[in-house]
Amino acid sequence: MNILCIDIGTTSMRGILFSDTGSIKGIKSILTPLIHKNGWIEQDPRVYVNGLLDICDHIQRFGDIDAISLTSLRSVPTLCDASGKALANFIMWQDTRNTAICSSLTPHNGEIYTTTGSSVNTVFTGSKLTWMKENMRDIYDRAYKALIVPDYLLNYMCGTWTTDATYGSRSNLMDLKTCRWDKRMLELFNIDEDKLPDIIQPGIAGRTTTSFARESGIPQGIPVITSGGDQQNSALGLGQLDDSSLVINCGTGSFILSLSDEPELTNSTMICNISAVPGKYTVESNVLASAAALNWLIREIFPDEWHRGQIDFDTFNDIAASSPIGANGVLCVPLFQGCGTRHWNNEARASFSNISLGNTRADLARAMYEGIAAEIAKSILAMPKKVREADTVYIGGGMTKCDFFDQILADMTGKKLLRYSDTQATAIGAFMNAAVHLGIYDSLYEAFAAVRKESVPYVFTPIPDHCDFYQNYLEETERIFLLVNG
């Protein structure tokens, strides 16, 4: 049996065809550049449909497709009519047009947090839907359902109107304990329950329809599995199957995840979500701009390495590595999208400081890497004690392809980091989930052993002297953060 895993990220989507033994038979990646206008960040729904069809067309040359597994970025809604047609662009998770709405809801943070697992924030779906209702009322009233990206594609492939609980837990609207839309939260956010899809658990969501089969060339009636959110699946694909490990996934933003047997609701700066592992919960912290911050620096300061978005990372990293630890005094607080979980301040802004005429762009490059690593380290320090003391730390995501950055991250966190050579952890998690739901393997442990049977992680060990240096660095950059952002 071959399983096509569709992995939708912030600026790209990919399809990977796995055999039932976990070997990769074919890959197709597609860029999905975002729409930036008037400070808003959106995506055209046609990009996802066209990307899905392109993937299906290309991937079939590598073998038959017997099942599809879907994992996606989270908290990105649109409004659809009863035919499944999107009536507006998707509002991306980074978009902060809902700031005033979130501010108005902060007095209710106590009950929002204990019910949904997160304090109100601009990232999550609920307040984005409130903004749509208040500012796009005609479209909201005409809409049949509000769907996020994976729901939209499930409807396109299967005709279903569902979302799975991992995504529901990113909405501020779902009761974390019952996995049902909560009437009090719907009242607070002023959202009509009949506009929301049904909540299901990750698993087989439906089967491909005649119309999708005709458009894609994929057989009618094959099972489509919703495997849950991309970060949950990335953690799964890196081996996070119990609460003894920590995962750091560094992409457009960075996400730090651990597992819990029960909802972890002791620290309102953290996020507690439904995990891709059945019966488990994630404890999550985030940094809103990582690769996004790095890309900004390269685009604006390193034009020779930018090449219209085709970044020459080898040259850029050599430049950054030519600056010594501490970047000759330059400090960077890279909050280009605001501050994430540890302070939930979407109005926070980035800063470079302590720059003199003696500094070079190499110092700026290294300072950016150190600043991103520092934000990740601070986010870990804000997490529960058991999470902070995790024995095993796996890293993944596009930024971790860089050995130079990974060593900085090991030194900044003081933790030994393990990195697999491939960068397909999210798709691997989606394969594992699908393989268990389809009965190919009896457990996620068996599926992980199969797909990772030839993988040996590379280890980054912290350098003690560097760790000592970076302890002071963390304190100094935090002082700057508080000075700049209040």
CATH of the domain at 473: 3.30.420.40
Give all strands (DSSP E) within 165-222, no chain letters. Answer: 174-175, 180-181, 198-200, 203-207
270/210 same-domain check: no
- pLDDT tens digit sequence for 8-58: 999 999 999 999 999 999 999 999 999 999 889 999 999 999 999 999 999
| Burial of 189 per CB tally in 10 Å (0-12, 13-18, 19+) | buried
With CA atoms as reference, report the closest residue to 129 among 169, 167, 164, 101: 101
Instruction: Let me know if residue 448 belongs to a domain.
Output: no
- pLDDT tens digit sequence for 385-408: 888 888 789 999 889 999 999 999
Position 485 scores a pLDDT of 85
243/224 same-domain check: no
How many angstroms separate the CA atoms of 284 and 259, rounded?
Answer: 9
130/270 same-domain check: no
Instruction: Let me know if residue 438 belongs to a domain.
Output: no
68/166 same-domain check: yes
Instruction: Let me know if residue 427 belongs to a domain.
Output: no
Last residue of a domain, one of 229, 259, 275: 229
With CA atoms as reference, report the closest residue to 387 among 411, 415, 407, 410: 415
45/194 same-domain check: yes
- pLDDT exceeds cutoff 90 at 266: no
- pLDDT exceeds cutoff 90 at 362: yes
For tokens 């330059």, what's the residue?
330
252/167 same-domain check: no
Position 466 scores a pLDDT of 97
Q: Report how far apart the first and last C-alpha atoms of the chain are (Å, whole number).
A: 56
382/257 same-domain check: yes
Q: How many domains does the chain have?
A: 2
271/378 same-domain check: yes
Instruction: Let me know if residue 451 belongs to a domain.
Output: no
194/263 same-domain check: no
